[in-house]
Structure formats: structure tokens, C-alpha cells
Amino acid sequence: MNSILYSIYPLRGMDLRWRPPAVGARRIRDMTYHQKDGWKDAGGFGTIMPSVATTVTDDLTWVGEEGYGKVASGSGKNVKAVASGSTIHPFSLFGEIESLHWFSQHSGRRQWLIFEAERDGGGITLWYFNGSTAGSFGGGFTEITDAVGDSLIFTSGSTKIGRRQHLGPRMRTQSMAWNGLLYLVNGYDPPLVFDGIKAERAGFDSGPSSPSGTVTSHGRCGSKMAKGLGLGTSWPGLSDVAQGEAMQQPTRIEFAYRYRVSFINERGQESPLSSPSGLITGRNPEPNALDELDGTGSTDTYNGSYKKGRKFIALSIPTGGDTIVARRIYRTRQLMNSEGELSSRSAAENFYFLEEIRDNLCTVWEDGIPDGYLGSLVDELDFGSWPERSNMIAAFKNTVFLAGGGSTDIRYSAPLMPEVYPVDNRISLGQDDSGEITAMYPTKNALIVFKRSAVYLIKGDVSSGFAAQPLTKNTGCVGPDAVSEIPGMGLAFLGDNGVYLLRGALENTGTVTNVEHLSTPIPDYIDRINMSAAVQAVAITYKKDREFWMSVPVDGSEKNNFVLVYHYDVGSWSYREDYPIGCAITTSDHRGYLIFGANVSGTDERIGLNVYHHGAEHKGTSSYPIQSMYETSDLNFGSVFKAVAPKHFLLNCVGYGDGDVTVNYTVNRSISQARATNKVADQQNPEERYAVYDTATWGSTYWYEHRPIVLRFDVSAMDKPAVRELRVTIEASGRRIQVMGLDVGVVASAPTQRIPINEILQGQRG
């Protein structure tokens, strides 16, 4: 009896449903979808910089902060053994990578890879990758310091206190790039801003202390800072009075003012205003006696110490910390009326811009500026300190949004002022019990805010204001890093019930906004996710291979140890194991690398920063090889035939050389495969074999090119029960494989007539 050849082409992704609607795969491991419509071996990863060669000749070596070398017995040093002639891992002293950030300056010409980790027990702090020092022990990274070059780690005796780190599943430090700066928040430590040279506190936690002042004549106080012509009105001079007239007391020789001060940091951000000063009153000098000019034409001289002119107010202004570069002074208008009484209480609450002191040094400033030279009225509600305990940050429509710290409020900054948070700039999302805010993600026309069980869209802009509208309360996101955008599709995120896709969320784009369940074909893998630790799940889009990665903890693990990969060109899922992704980024340049920080430490060779690429020979170490496998779904021949007998498989693959392809198969979903040993064939056209590396000779062998080939595997299931379902497993024994399709040759028995019941009962409905 002739066999029938059933073609499985093209090969698609995993679908674990009992009866998948289309022929797909049961398992796809360590493979990637190639744009030539084939499944090829995935890449691996390795540390971003090479290990350091040692010169030690003994097996006992101290590896510590100061370098490495032979340790003397009884030295008390913390010994870490390094075998003679070996190499030292460049991250050998680092612990788990807490967070990872990437940003660039100068339109992408200067790039920064910043990570947060602890080195040699010295406290968690921030570092940046420094390729110019790589290759030597302790090189390849530089610690980020503050404005004066000191470490961000606080040292008290032998105790070092770095940034906060909570053990167990936790939200990692979040960051946002803004105008060549990187803002970092974690909800515990003060927010930081890194400008490429130093890191310093972002924003303000309060305003300065209120100023105080005394009335003085110009130049008396010893300050070199004086401005203006004097306050109030002065008595006229002798030349101003006609002969015979009496000196008239002018109005407003008395004056009263109040002041407020704010700080300006080097990024031009202004702190909240200080409390107003007390009322500072003064009176311009008058003659000791009012003399009249006599008619003789001679002028009288006044007694006493009359000095014509106006007085000043010597204002004591506070100085700020290292980040402060200027102070702004605000003042009321003249509060005394012509009767020498306070004009109104409300006037005492209106402050106008007076002066900007462009330093952080002087402590006294003399004010003699008349009211006509005051600037605009200031509203203290336009300023505000950085919201406490914010651990999520995003930029949208020239505004920075902060969330977290246990609050369901979103605070947003003044436009184009990322460190100024007016008190009234808040959006409350506390009208339901959908949990705390877990993530924020800016898109074209909306800032998407996730709660554990809800999704909100914040829309609007600076001129019209911002408002939140709920999108759904049926699902949310588990963590701030579990969100990533899939080009051409939407925003993918991990919810409690799987991976979802938010389509639309845009205005006037013709796309309906809705939430789709993307992980429908892979329920078994979703069930394995440890949702209690999923707060640290990491979603990343790797554009080079057109993949969406979701790194999650599975099987009860508290750390991410499994990667679900969505190949968005074909809408297919696969998975990868042994990826210790604690945090990850993709570089937003032409290189487009995926770099992740490992959540392992100690002697694990995968510690530190790793880069994923197709030139890697394994996953960090030879202990974790790349094991590419494509396993078809269970082909349900029993839906058509009573039984079949498989005869051969024709595998359509790319001829990579002498590396073997192995094939095995499972019958009727048996727990074990049909063959004890795999069928093996090398990836060469048997009719025309190409030369390969290690046997080819320069000058005599030709270059070839990869081409599709067909490999035949003769199989048999005679020792098995009647075959109704057949599953084929294809693996690579070496590194490289690419499969495009599979033809299954079977000998089938009599067909079974199978009619959908709907077609019969439909006509019987009343």
C-alpha cells in the first residue's frame, strides 16, 4: 500500500490546547523564527566583557577590592580561590544585578549602560559600563559619584550603607531619560539624577528656610550685594524747597515688606517657596527739626545727623546644598499706606519676583528696589517638592508622572520642569479596589497606568490638562518591568492570568482600543508562573530577531528563570530556559543588543551583565548549552482514519554541514518516545556534500552557501498500538539547525467519517 505524505508547512508556534485549531508545535525550545520562514537555533549569551587573565601560579589567591594576589597564611583576608593559570570573571566580586538602565546623550553619540549592584560587600550603588578600562581586574565599570566625587555609599566606620535592597521578589529601580539626564527612583532612597558626570538628588524635599531682614542704610551691613535706590520715600533736600516754604513731610517715608526665597539647582529647577519672612518695617530718616528758610536767602543748616535719602533692607537669605546654584527672592509691594498703616492683609500674601542671586554663597543682600521694578506675581501652588516614595516614573507630553509608594495618586510635574511638582497636579485613581499602581507606560496619546487588576488611560496635554479614564477592570499588570511594546501590534504586559495585548489606546487612529489575551495557546506555561514573585517579571522587545520576551519565575522560583518568547511576525510562542534575567534593556542604537543583569551571584559564571547574541556558543557557560528543539503538536490522524502506520519523515531544513539533526517521535501521547535512540542525520545533501571547516583546505576548496535540503528518516511503529496521534521531535545535536517544514509519510487504514454534530442537529431546531 502506498503511503500518503502529509505536509506540515509552514511550521508555526506552540499551541498547547488539546485540539489546536491549526497544526503547530507542542514545544519550541531555544529557537527563533527566521524571516525566511524557518525555525533556526536561537542565540546564547555571554558576559559583556572578557574575563581577566591572571598571573598567579598558586592555587590560593585573594580576590578582593584591591585586586588579587597570593595571600599569606594567617593574613585574615577573605580568600576566594583562583586556580593557577585561570581567568577571573570580570564581575567576580559583584552580587546580583539590582537594576539596569540605558540612555544616551548628544543625540545618541554618547551612550551609558548603568547598573545597580553591590561589589565586594560594599553596599549597593550605581555603576556605568566603561569599555576603555575593560580587560584588567577591577576594570570595565566605573562607580557613579556625587558632585564632589564621593561615593554614593554612606560610610560610618566599617559600616557601609548603600541603596536599599529588599530581599525576595521586589520592584526594581525605575528610570526615565529626560533631556540628556537619567532620573532614577526606587521609592526608598532619595531620587537621583545622573548627568553623565555625577549623580545628585533630583528635585527638592522642601523649600528653604524663611529669610529675615533688618533695615539699614546702604553699605552699613558690610555686604557687597546691594541693589536699587532705596525703599519708601525720602525727605526732600534743601534745594528742593523754595525759599520761605516749610519742609513738608513726604508720604510713605515708612515702608514695610515681606520676603520669600526659593532655591534653583543647576538644572534650572525651582524649589518650593520658603515661608514668608516676618514684616520688615522701616522709616526713612527725617531732619531733627523742621526749619524754615528765612528770607535772607541764606540757607539754614539742620541740626543733628540728618541724612537725606532712603534706607535699604539687609535681607539674610539661606544657602543650599551642593546642588544649588542660585536663589530667587520674592517680595510684596509696599504694605504701608500714606497714613503709615498696613494697607491690607491680602497684599501681604502677594509676592512678586524681585531678584535672582546667581550664586550659592552670599548670605546677605540689600534690597532697595522700588515696587515699579518688581516682576510678575508668583503663586506658591505652582511649586512643589518631589513626591515622597515614588517608585515609578514616566514622561508624557512634556510632563513627568510619578506614582507608587503605596498611593493610588499620580503626581505630575509642571510642564518642562521635571523636578517641580505643584501640589494640585495630581490624578487620583483610588476610586476602586483594583490594587496598587504597578506600572506606567507612555504611548502616543495616552499614558497607560496599570493596577494589579485595572488599566487606566491618562489623556490630555499641558494646555487642556490631564484626566484618567478606566479602560478595563478585569485585568492589570503584575509589575513595572512586565510591559513592553510590540511593533505594529500594541502594548504587551503580564497579568495575573497570562500575557495580554493592549491594542489601540490611541486617538483617531482607526484602531479599536481593546485588551486581548495573547497567551491563549500556552496555558500550561502560564500556570507554572509563580505569580507571587511575578512583580519582578521582565518584558523586553528584541527587535533584531523580532521577538517579545517575557522573563518570569516558574515552578515556585522567587527569581526569573524562564523566558516565554513571542515571535510577533508569525504570532507564535516558544520558550527558553536557564536565562537568569533579573533586569534587561535593549540598546536604542543601531546595535540593538539585549543586555540583561543576572539574578545570580557567587561562583555562577553567568553573574553580572550578559549580552544576548547569535555568536554565543552557550548560555553563559558550557554547563548551559543551547538545546534547540522543535516538537510538533500531536497530529490527530485518528480524526480522519481509524489508524495509521508512520513510515518516514521528510525533514525540510537548511544544510549547515556535518552537525547532526536528530529525530524521534511519540505515539498516542505516550510518556516515552517510540525509539530508545534518536534517528540521526547530518545536515548535508547526500548527493552533493559540501566541504566543511576543519577539513577544507585554503586554495583548493570552494566556498559554498547554505541551501534547503531534505533529510529522510525511515521510521516504524509496528511495536506500538494503533497509531491515532503522532508527535515528532526534531533537535540539533550541535549548535546550528533551521527547519522549515516536515512531511510525514503514513500508511492509513480506512477513513473514519466524522461529521460535526452542528450540521445534523441544526436542522432539527424548532
Task: Identify which range of 133-141, 334-342, 372-380, 407-415 contacts another protein by CB under 8 A.
Answer: 133-141
Residues 408 and 429: their CA atoms lie apart, in Å, by 5
Should residue 687 be labelled a site residue for another protein when binding is judged by CB under 8 A? no
Give me the least distance between CB of 115 and another protein, in Å please.
Answer: 11
169/657 with CB nearer another protein: 657
134/342 with CB nearer another protein: 134
Should residue 591 be labelled a site residue for another protein when binding is judged by CB under 8 A? yes
Q: What H or E segment, with its residue span, contains residue 524?
A: helix 523-528
CB atoms within 10 A of CB 318: 17
Residues 318 and 296: their CA atoms lie apart, in Å, by 56
Strand partners, 69: 62
Task: Identify which range of 345-353, 575-583, 696-704, 750-758 contacts another protein by CB under 8 A.
Answer: 696-704
Residue selected from 33, 39, 62, 129 as contacting another protein according to rule CB under 8 A: 129
Q: How many residues bind another protein (CB under 8 A)?
A: 50
In Å, the largest CA–CA distance within the chain is 148
Question: For residue 708, what are the CA distances in angstroms to 23, 657, 711, 714, 741?
Answer: 22, 12, 10, 20, 10
Task: Tell me the three cell numbers of residue 662.
Answer: 536528530
Binders in 727-746 for another protein, by CB under 8 A: 734-736
Residue selected from 701, 710, 716, 721 as contacting another protein according to rule CB under 8 A: 701
Q: Which residues contact 432 (CB under 8 A, 6 or more apart)?
A: 454, 470, 473
Task: Tell me the three cell numbers of residue 373.
Answer: 521694578
CB atoms within 10 A of CB 503: 16
Task: Identify which range of 144-152, 192-200, 525-533, 609-617 contacts another protein by CB under 8 A.
Answer: 609-617
240/688 with CB nearer another protein: 688
Residue selected from 692, 722, 747, 748 as contacting another protein according to rule CB under 8 A: 692
Should residue 587 be labelled a site residue for another protein when binding is judged by CB under 8 A? yes
Residue selected from 696, 712, 714, 716 as contacting another protein according to rule CB under 8 A: 696
Give me the least distance between CB of 418 and another protein, in Å please.
Answer: 25
User: Is 295 exposed, middle or buried, given 0-12, 13-18 or 19+ CB atoms closer than 10 A?
Assistant: exposed
Residues 374 and 356: their CA atoms lie apart, in Å, by 12
109/754 with CB nearer another protein: 109
Type of residue found at 449: V
Q: Which residues contact 738 (CB under 8 A, 6 or more apart)?
A: 34, 38, 39, 40, 41, 653, 654, 656
Binders in 178-237 for another protein, by CB under 8 A: none
Binders in 657-686 for another protein, by CB under 8 A: 657-659, 682, 684
Give me the least distance between CB of 49 and another protein, in Å please.
Answer: 8
Give me the least distance between CB of 629 and another protein, in Å please.
Answer: 18
Task: Identify which range of 75-83, 256-264, 590-598, 628-636 contacts another protein by CB under 8 A.
Answer: 590-598
Should residue 688 be labelled a site residue for another protein when binding is judged by CB under 8 A? no
Binders in 39-78 for another protein, by CB under 8 A: 44, 46, 48-49
Give the DSSP letter string of 260-325. Answer: EEEEEETTS-BPPPPPPPPPEEEE----SS--B--TTSPPP---TT---S-BEEEEE-----TTEE
Give me the least distance between CB of 583 and another protein, in Å please.
Answer: 15
Cis status, amide bond into 10, omega within 30 of 0: yes
Should residue 702 be labelled a site residue for another protein when binding is judged by CB under 8 A? yes
Binding site for another protein (CB under 8 A): 44, 46, 48-49, 102, 109-113, 129-135, 587, 590-591, 593, 595, 611, 613-617, 655-659, 682, 684, 690-694, 696, 701-706, 734-736
